[in-house]
Amino acid sequence: MLLRHTPTEVKERKALMINPAKTCQPIGAMYAALGIHGCLPHSHGSQGCCAYHRSALTRHYKEPISAATSSFTEGASVFGGQANLLQAINNIFTVYDPEVIAVHTTCLSETIGDDLPQIFDKAIKTGKVPEGKTVLGCPTPSYVGSHVTGFSNMVKAMAQLAEPSGKKSGKVNVIPGWVEPCDMAEIKRLAGLVGVDITLFPDTSGVLDAPLTGEYKMFPDGGVTIPELKACGDAVGTLALGEWCSADAARWLDSKCKVPCSVLDMPFGLAATDRFIDVLRTVAGVSVPDSVAVERGQLVDMISDMHQYFYGKRVALYGDPDQLISMVEFLLTLDMIPAYVVTGTPGKKFERRIKELCADKPFEVKVKAKGDMFLMHQWIKNEPVDLLIGNTYGKYISRDEDIPLLRWGFPILDRQGHQYFPTVGYKGGLRLLEKMLTLFLDRKDRDDSEQTFELVL
Amino acid sequence: MAKTKKVVQFMPTDIKEELLAKYPPKVARKRAKQIMINEATESEAPPEILANVRTIPGIITMRGCTYAGCKGVIMGPTRDIVNITHGPIGCGFYSWLTRRNQTDAGEDGENYMPYCFSTDMQDSDIIFGGEKKLAAAIQEAYDLFHPKGICVFATCPVGLIGDDIHAVCKKKKAEFGDCNVFAFSCEGYKGVSQSAGHHIANNQVFTHLVGENTEPRTEEYKINLLGEYNIGGDGFEIDRILKKCGITNLATFSGNSSYDQFASAQHADLSCVMCHRSINYVADMLETKYGIPWIKVNFIGAASTAKSLRKIGQYFGDKKLIDRIEEVIAEEMPEVEAVAADVRPRTEGKTAMLFVGGSRAHHYQDLFSEMGMKTLSAGYEFAHRDDYEGRQVIPNLTVDADSRNIEEIDVEADPELYSPRKKPEEIKALEDAGYQFKHYEGMNDQMDKGTIIIDDLNQYEAEKLVELLKPDIFCAGIKEKFSIQKSGVPMKQLHSYDSGGPYAGFKGAINFYKEIDRLVNSKVWSYMKAPWQENPELTGTFVWE
């Protein structure tokens, strides 16, 4: 038993977090910034944060993650980090020549109160930002919210580049939230099928799934461009996928640039994808082609074909709020039981939403925001589940309790495929079903007696 | 791509110039002192290198912070201490199971390694202080687990808001009575790298833990293994060999370590230092306080392993031990030599670059030379001048403003427990026979003339070096791995071993030879261009066969 010190008896903890189901803001901001074309993320703090965030993202994507840091020393930590950031901006443009530097902060620079806009202003006035290049940024205090909050803050900073011209472009902004590069590509593909011209931001497809060619490009071809971001203010509407990840940016565009927004769930599973396609069609005023309905029908077909294996299965899920909400809804669509739902990200709204989704079901869902995996494990010890869904850290519970783990979310450090095969949309739904079924049926094959072991399932 | 045999097209001085050419003048001046062309020969002293100085902002360093050096490296691998990170969630999260310190939970089964404990500071804690929450977290950890020890690690904001973590720990320790609670002021901004964290960890573990177990130890040939973190099972392999030789390893600092090992370290008769950078402070303190001499060892490389074992044998000077060590070496070496002979025709003459934390960039050169591979360039993230140039430069080292606030503790000979393990004449006899105590010759000494040594290598320089010198393999860490591979050069992680290992000891050498053979001879590097990219011009029409 790896987690042998986890007792069955649940005692309330007020101060000690054990095995978090979240991490801190800046890594989210770093990930979002990588979805800007030609962008070097910059961490304004001491360099350990930047090293940790780059390592975590690299381990998840098996891709290079470049980011710079202000490398605070003790002196800067006491007297302010302006000089460090100015030097950094100069060095970055001279040595690495990005189109954009996207700065986020850490608990260090936030505690001492460094003022980013003032430092940017100084950088521009002292000629450290070359003509045509962009520096943007946002505060991302690690002691507020989670990595999801940091992602949202950087996405909002991207939206704030909007410069409405007063003339509508006919395009639709889609803010995908924290999903994989392949998910972003899938959202673009679906929009293309429906026939809607979208601006997707951030967009890490083409950035964090680069080919091996013998030539390393620090700034790959993908990512949303600065002109595209500036033009966001001219869109006919914004679809924000995920309240926690995307809504702030969309609401800012709505109130400041009069681009109406619609906050939807992330399009994981049947119902959430249905709503995404339906709203997209309505905003753009187009009709949905049959090819999309065929993909949808395939997903419904697979649900009906294999329903016996999903029905009534109990699941424990942990991860980020937007993803969990859609996944819980998908599990309900399959007549499964989302028994325990835990996110480390704070928000009573989350608990309410999960409870609403399960309101008329014949079981009680245990849900906790600002919870941790230690608590979830204790729940499992008291009443077991058939499946775990979450990031790699669940493998310790999976092994100890002999429960299959569907790796989904961030970070996945020990398996491959997640950055290439989407789980959004109808196609993504098929992949989730395939993965889930493989886990259940492998388990059945392992556990069935020789007498009941069967070829056809 | 069939690799064309490269000739070194550049003189080392040209390469250095290339590396510096793009920098703003101020940056170039500083980097010029951190990039040196090795000219060490038997007759001349190697030139000075600038090391352990602040990182250039925006340069894309590979370095981490003091917290990582303290919690992540030194204290993290200890299985039966509950390590609580006092800070926002990130620091604890990122140091949760990400270094491959393997652990045997032992008979008592106490093992907190798979857990991450944090006070998860919120904005209210930043505003009103986090001491109360920390005290409550320590209490909750105690109530849940009743561990032997609880350690607390400060993160960046803790120092700024003025939480007195040491006072909180002292109070809880007194309350509990049966649980040692102490803290580390390892805020990320201290010093200039992980290195400061090593020093802080050394000081506190020595002050609060070493020497606690006063029960005498009666085993033969008692040593401590300092600075070995059991990455990928390295420590297990070294322990296997030591055990086979009849040597008792009382305490490893700190791979697969336990509370009691630290507490019993003062009973050893010799300290063997693997990673000089991270643990030389404890080695010195053990000598000053208890009279335990230390020697530098290296269990990376089969020949180095044999040499280190012989050094231990010679120290104890006991024929039984010396004979046993020779037997073990004779037993282990044939398999190592067979594998070396097998890979050598495929690795001979190939070239390597090594840029690893504070010790492996040196140690692994032994393994490469056993395969006939040449190290073209090497460097550390955070080593000090003594790790490059040898300990003889220590008296000349200056502590700059960025590192001045790292505490130096005064240790004196213990009035009761100090006992020199060897008589002065015994020490002298060993030294006359060429034995070196408290000695580390540094990395530069071993490297060829004309090789390039770079301190705190950054992303730009890594790419440039690879482009100019086209090594057959580049060794560094996870952040460098994929950019190097994208450029078509095999990359081996020497922090995490890419999930492989062990690489220490005899079995480790075998693993490493095979791994490097696999990497440098992998066919994948020939797939980078599609057929239509190799011959882009159509010269005729295809005929269906």
Query: What letter does residue A43 receive in the DSSP assignment?
Result: E
Of residues A77 and B384, more confidently modeled: B384
Give the gap in angstroms from C-alpha A405 to the nearest C-alpha of chain B.
Answer: 17
Provide the residue range defining the domain that includes B57: 1-62+349-390+442-544
Number of domains in chain B: 3
Identify from A50, A53, A62, A71 which residue to disrupt to test chain B contact, counting B C-beta atoms within 10 A and taking the largest count.
A71
Indicate which CATH number applies to the domain containing B152: 3.40.50.1980
pLDDT of residue B236: 98
Helix and strand element counts for chain B (H, E): 21, 14
Of the residues A22, A73, A96, A412, the best mutation for testing chain B's interface (the one with the most B CB atoms within 10 Å of its CB) is A73
Question: How far does B20 lie from chain A, in Å, by closest CA?
Answer: 10
Could you tell me the sign of the dihedral formed by the alpha carbons of B473, B474, B479, B485, in that order? Answer: negative
CA A301 to chain centre: 28
- Domain co-membership, B371 together with B473: yes
Q: How far apart are CA B545 and CA B543, in angstroms?
A: 6
Task: Answer yes or no: is B96 within a domain.
Answer: yes
| B410 and B521 co-located in one domain | no
Q: For residue range B413-440, what is the model confidence (pLDDT) as tens digits?
A: 999 999 999 999 999 999 999 999 999 9
Nearest to B151 by CA among B162, B135, B161, B138: B138
> Sheet holding A387-390: strands in order across?
A366-369, A337-343, A314-319, A387-390, A405-407
pLDDT at B460 > cutoff 80: yes
Q: What is the mean pLDDT of residues A48-68?
A: 98
Q: What is the mean pLDDT of residues B345-371?
A: 98
Q: Is there a domain that residue B322 lies in? A: yes
The contacts of residue A281 (CB under 8 Å, 6+ apart) are: A194, A196, A287, A288
| Whether residue B261 sits in one domain with residue B409 | yes
The C-alpha atoms of residue A381 and residue A280 are separated, in whole angstroms, by 43
Residues B504, B358 share a domain: yes
- Mean pLDDT over B352-371 rounds to 98
Strand partners, A149: none
- For chain B, positions 328-347, list CB contacts with chain A under 8 A: none
Residues B193 and B85 in one domain: yes
> How far B262 CA sits from the closest chain A CA (Å)?
22
Task: Indicate whether B458 and B507 sit together in one domain.
Answer: yes
Tell me what pLDDT residue A64 has. Answer: 98
Cβ proximity of B488 and B507 under 8 Å: no
d(CA B178, CA B419): 29
Report CB contact under 8 Å: B482, A27: no
> Is 0.90 surpassed by the pTM of this model?
yes
Q: Based on the number of CB atoms within 10 Å of its own CB, is B531 exposed (0-12), middle (13-18) or buried (19 or more)?
A: exposed
Q: Which of B403, B433, B463 is a domain's end point?
A: B433
Single out the residue of A88, A44, A259 nearest to residue A165, CA to CA: A259
Q: Has residue B7 got a pLDDT over 50?
A: no
Beta carbons of B156 and A107 less than 8 Å apart: yes
Pairing of strands B35-37, B452-454: antiparallel
- CB of B84 within 8 Å of any CB in chain A? yes
Name every chain B residue with its beta carbon within 8 A of the beta carbon of A5.
110-112, 115, 144-145
For residues A79 and A441, what is the distance between their CA atoms, to the nearest angstrom?
60
Please determine, for residue A41, whether its predicted confidence score (pLDDT) is greater than 90: yes
Share of chain B above pLDDT 70, in %: 95
Query: Are residues B103 and B230 both part of a single domain?
Result: no
* pLDDT tens figures, A338-396: 999 999 999 999 999 999 999 999 999 999 999 999 999 999 999 999 999 999 999 99
Report the first-to-last Cα separation within chain A, whole angstroms: 32
Only one residue has tokens 């769930």, namely A265
Do B402 and B376 share a domain, yes or no? Answer: no
Q: Do the Cβ atoms of A55 and B63 come within 8 Å?
A: no
Taking 90 as the threshold, does the pLDDT of residue B247 lie above it? yes
| Contact check, Cβ <8 Å, B89/A214 | no
Angle at B49 between CA B46 and CA B50, to 5 degrees: 165
Q: Is B88 on the interface with A (CB under 8 A)?
A: yes
Residue with tokens 């979805």: A35
Co-location of B401 and B257 in the same domain:
yes
Angstrom distance (rounded) from CA A394 to CA A316: 10
Q: Is residue B534 part of a domain?
A: yes
Q: Tell me whether residues B58 and A20 touch, CB distance under 8 A.
A: no
Q: How far apart are CA B128 and CA B156, in angstroms?
A: 16
Q: What is the 3-state secondary structure (H, E, C) of B143-205?
A: HHHCCCEEEEEECHHHHHHCCCHHHHHHHHHHHHCCCEEEEECCCCCCCCCHHHHHHHHHHHH
DSSP string, B32-54: HHHEEE----SSSPPPP---S-P
Evaluate if residue B148 carries a pLDDT over 70. yes
Residue of B nearest to A213 (CA): B528
Domain presence at residue B474: yes
CA distance B401 to B238: 39
CA distance, residue A182 to nearest chain B CA (Å): 19
The answer to whether position B216 is within a domain reads: no
* Strand stretches in A295-413, DSSP E: 314-319, 337-343, 366-369, 387-390, 405-407
* Contact by Cβ (8 Å): A199, A232: yes
- Each residue of B96-133: pLDDT tens digit? 999 999 999 999 999 999 999 999 999 999 999 999 99
Q: Look at strands B81-86 and B117-118 and give their pairing.
A: parallel
- In chain B, residues with a C-beta closer than 8 Å to the C-beta of A396 are 114
pLDDT band per the 50, 70, 90 thresholds, residue B5: very low
Could you give the CA distance from residue A377 to residue A403 in angstroms, rounded to a whole number? 11
Largest CA distance in chain A: 80
Side-by-side strand order, sheet with B117-118: A17-18, B117-118, B81-86, B149-154, B180-184
Strand order of the sheet with strand A172-175? A198-200, A172-175, A237-241, A261-264
Mean pLDDT of chain B: 95
Q: CA B494, CA B248: separation in Å to the nearest integer? A: 28
| Catalytic annotation, residues of B | 65, 68, 99, 198
Whether B126 and chain A come into contact, CB under 8 Å, resolves to: yes
Tell me, yes or no, whether B215 lies in a domain.
no
Same domain, B265 and B297: yes
Q: B159-190: per-residue pLDDT in tens? A: 999 999 999 999 999 999 999 999 999 999 99
For residues A120-141, give the mean pLDDT. 98
Query: Which residue of A63, A107, A375, A397 to mutate against B (max B Cβ within 10 Å)?
Result: A107
pLDDT over 60 (residue B231) = yes
Q: What's the whole-number average pLDDT of chain A?
A: 98
- B460 with B370, same domain: the answer is yes
In a domain, B268, yes or no: yes
pLDDT of residue B535: 80
* Domains identified in chain A and CATH numbers: 25-151 (3.40.50.1980), 172-290 (3.40.50.1980), 311-423 (3.40.50.1980)
Asked if pLDDT for residue B39 goes beyond 90, the answer is no
Residue B55 pLDDT > 50: yes
Same-domain status, B377 and B480:
yes
Residue that wins the pLDDT comparison between B45 and B231:
B231
Burial (CB count within 10 angstroms: exposed 0-12, middle 13-18, buried 19+), residue B410: exposed
In percent, the amount of chain A with pLDDT more than 70 equals 100
Model pLDDT for residues A315-345, shown as the tens digit of each residue: 999 999 999 999 999 999 999 999 999 999 9
Considering only CB atoms, B60 lies closest to which of A17, A68, A142, namely A68
Among the partner residues B123, B402, B460, nearest to A73 by beta-carbon distance: B402
